[in-house]
Amino acid sequence: MKTKAALMAALCAVLSMPATQAQNIKPTSKFYVKIAGGYYFSVFPGQFPKVGSYQPHDQHLEYNAVTESSTSVSEKVLTGSYGAGGRGGLSFGWNINRYIAVEGTFNYYRSKKNLMTREVTTMAGSNQTLGKIESHGYVDAIDFAPGVVISPGFEKVNPYVRFGMVVPLWGNLKIETDASRSGTATVGGQTVLTQTTIHRNETVKPNVTVGFQGALGVAFPVAKRLDIFVEAEYRNIPVRSKKKEVTAYDEAISLLNPANGTVISTQRRGLNDLSTAERHTVYVTTLDQHSNTPVSQQGATVNYKNNDQPANDLKSYINIGGLGANGGLRWRF
C-alpha cells in the first residue's frame, strides 16, 4: 500500500508541474525501444521452503557415541527471498500522446543463491564432522511486463511513472545439494569405516501466476532520438510450486580400512538408478492416505507407497519480487 501511495503522489506531482514549463514539452515520437539492466533487493523476506525432508534451518548437532543419540547445539531458521538478483530487459513502447504511453517488456532475471538448509553433525567432545548436508537455491526466470507510462512530456528532464502487471513466461527454482556422512559397518565380521557423499540438483517448476510492477523514473536526452533513463522499480510476484524433478544425482558409498584409511570398495548410484518417486514430485495442497509418501528408508534410498509413480509433497510458496534500480537507453523513432 505504501508503494502504491508513493506512485500516486509522484504522479500527482508530475501532472501538477507549472504551466510555465509548457514550452519544454518535447514533440511526440510514436514508437520507442528500450534496453535496461538493474539489480533488485529483497524487501519482504520469509521462511524458505523445505528441501525434501529437511527444514529451512541452519543446525549444529552433536552425536554421543555412548548413548547413540544426537542433541542440538544450535539452530537458526533460514529466511530470505528470491527477489534479490540481477535483471535485464528489452522494452517496446508506443506513445498514445505526449503524456501517456503503453509498453511491454521482456525480462530475464536471475536471483542470488540462497542457503536453504544446512545441518552439521559433529562428534561430542571433538570437532570431528560426522555428517553434513547443505543446500542452495536460486531462481532463473523470463517474464513479460505490460504497463502504462505517464509523464509531463518535458523536453530536457522528463520524469515518469510506470505501472502494470508481470506475467512469468518461464522460470524454475533450482536447488543444489551436497551431503556427506561418516560411520562404521560390519563386513565379513570385521568393522570398516564408511563414507557416503551425495550431490543432487533439483528443478522446481511453478504454477501460472501474475504479479505487479510499478516504477518512478526520469529520462534525459543525450542525442536527437536517444535518451538515457534511471528508475526505481518495485515488483511483487508470488509463486507456488507445481512439480519437481531431480536433474542430477551422484551417490558414492565407500568402505575404508580403519587402520590406514584406504578405500576397500565403492558403490555408486546415479540419476538412472533412482525410482520414479525419488526423481519426480507432484505438489499438492493436502496430503492424505492416498498420497504417495515415503514408507521407509535405507541409507539414502527412500521407498514410497508406489515407487513407480511420482511422489507427493505439500506445495511451497516463494516471492521473486523486490525493490531495485534500473538504468538504460531509449531510442525514439
Distance between CA atoms of 291 and 55, rounded to whole angstroms?
Answer: 20
* Residue 183 pLDDT greater than 60, yes or no: yes
321: phi then psi, degrees, rounded to nearest 5: -90, 170
Residue of higher predicted confidence among 11 and 115: 115
Q: Provide the β-strand partners of residue 148.
A: 102, 163
pLDDT at 179: 95
**First vs last C-alpha separation in the chain:** 36
242-274: per-residue pLDDT in tens?
A: 999 999 999 999 998 888 878 888 999 999 999
Whether the Cβ atoms of residue 244 and residue 281 lie closer than 8 Å to each other: yes
Q: Provide the β-strand partners of residue 110.
A: 86, 140
pLDDT at 22: 41
Say which range, 23-27, 30-34, 106-110, 197-201, has the weakest mean pLDDT: 23-27
Residue 99 DSSP label: S
* Residue 29 pLDDT greater than 80, yes or no: no
What is the average pLDDT score of the chain? 89
Taking the whole predicted model, whether its pTM rises above 0.75 is answered as: yes
Q: Which helix (H) or strand (E) holds 11?
A: helix 2-15
Q: Quick one: 222 exposed, middle or buried, by C-beta within 10 A (0-12, 13-18, 19+)?
A: exposed
Distance between CA atoms of 113 and 110, rounded to whole angstroms?
Answer: 9
Which residue has 524454475 as its cell numbers?
A: 172
Q: Provide the β-strand partners of residue 108.
A: 88, 142
Percent of the chain with pLDDT strictly greater than 90: 68
pLDDT at 11: 43
Whether the Cβ atoms of residue 280 and residue 274 lie closer than 8 Å to each other: no
Q: Which helix (H) or strand (E) holds 317?
A: strand 317-319
Distance between CA atoms of 19 and 65, rounded to whole angstroms?
Answer: 82
pLDDT at 2: 45
Which residue has 570398516 as its cell numbers?
A: 192
Say which range, 100-104, 124-128, 233-237, has the weakest mean pLDDT: 124-128
The DSSP code sequence of 269-312 is EEGGGS-HHHHEEEEES---TTS--EEEEETTEEEES-TTS-EE
* Residue 83 pLDDT greater than 50, yes or no: yes
Whether the Cβ atoms of residue 213 and residue 233 lie closer than 8 Å to each other: yes
* Residue 283 pLDDT greater than 70, yes or no: yes
Cβ partners under 8 Å of residue 68, min gap 6:
none
Percent of the chain with pLDDT strictly greater than 70: 91
Distance between CA atoms of 192 and 255, rounded to whole angstroms?
Answer: 6
pLDDT at 52: 82
Distance between CA atoms of 174 and 241, rounded to whole angstroms?
Answer: 12
Q: pLDDT class for 28, splitting at 50, 70, 90? A: low
* Residue 280 pLDDT greater than 90, yes or no: yes
* Residue 150 pLDDT greater than 70, yes or no: yes
